[in-house]
Structure 1
Amino acid sequence: MPRRSLWKGSFLDAFLFRMKKNREQIDSRKIWSRRSSISPEFVDCSVLIYNGKTPVRCKITDGKVGHKFGEFAFTRSSKTNRVKGRKGINPV
């Protein structure tokens, strides 16, 4: 899997870089930057990650450090077999 070069460091948007210094600003903030990496300063914070339609609440834990914010806000709904909602089919 291709990665970012180690000498560049992890990507973090400019507004998140400013926000990580002040911990009170992080809690319950909307994050539109799905491409930014989660840094250790965000641990134990609850953030709202935008998925293209609505913000999704996500609690940041130790296991999520190093991943991208976008990995935890799914953009597509799951498709299941919705038999009850179909019209025109007569149940036997």
Structure 2
Amino acid sequence: MTPQQQAEHLLGLARRAGKLTMGEGFVLAAIRDGKAKLVIVASDASPRTIKLFHDKSSFYEIPYVNALTKLAIAGAIGVPRTALAVVDQGFATKLIKLLT
């Protein structure tokens, strides 16, 4: 199994465990509140969306990854989303290792 496939499985597990925040507005709020431990944005998101989350993540010093496509994210968590925030440090650490 490739690291990307492992990451997709881990995202599904994190969703079932309630450790993901999904949707652009909710992810931005999690970043501002300091709850986000990792921000994941689809690599095929619009340039504006990618810049917005990259800048917010950089400002609040939260790790940022855009290694998955919208299709891969949807397959992993079961719903189409462009942006996710992982709110658990254990999941975040493992996902960073797998996606970078």
* TM-score for the superposition, normalised by structure 2: 0.29
Return the index of the structure with the highest Cα Rg. Answer: 1
Q: Per residue, is there more helix in 1 or in 2?
A: 2
Higher RCO (CA-CA < 8 Å; seq separation 6+): 2
Normalised to the residue count of structure 1, the TM-score between the two structures is: 0.31
